[in-house]
Amino acid sequence: MFKDILLVGIGSFAGGSLRMVVSKYLQLCVAGSFPLGTMVVNVLGCFLIGIVSSLSGSESSISPAVRLLLATGFCGGFTTFSTFMNENVMLMKDGDDFSTSVLYLFASLFLGFVAVLAGRQLVLAFR
């Protein structure tokens, strides 16, 4: 168990550090407030976790330890959005119908947005 935690921690450190560098650099290249850096990191993270999850359990399989390091650690540290999107794909892949995946997608986006607004309002109420 400690080895797994260490693998995820190392991957998270690398992914989170790279997220900051890529996001900050790309944001400097864009005029205005559009969060291009975050969008690129999220899409790139989705691409990477798609590769890693496809290599898991295939003929060119990667070990569970490498999967923890790359998918849970690196991609999770790089962006949790990639994990969120991969879970949507897995819902469909595991035999659940498309509507379950769509429900998870929109419920997560809506509830996450509402939760951010609620958190902000809570802080503003006590200032």
Could you list the residues known to form a binding site, using ranges.
76, 79
Distance between CA 76 and CA 80 in Å, rounded? 5
Nearest to 54 by CA among 39, 37, 75: 75
Contact assessment for residue 31 and residue 21, using Cβ atoms and an 8 Å cutoff: no
Cα dihedral 37, 40, 43, 48, rounded to 10, equals: -100
Binding residues for Na(+): 76, 79
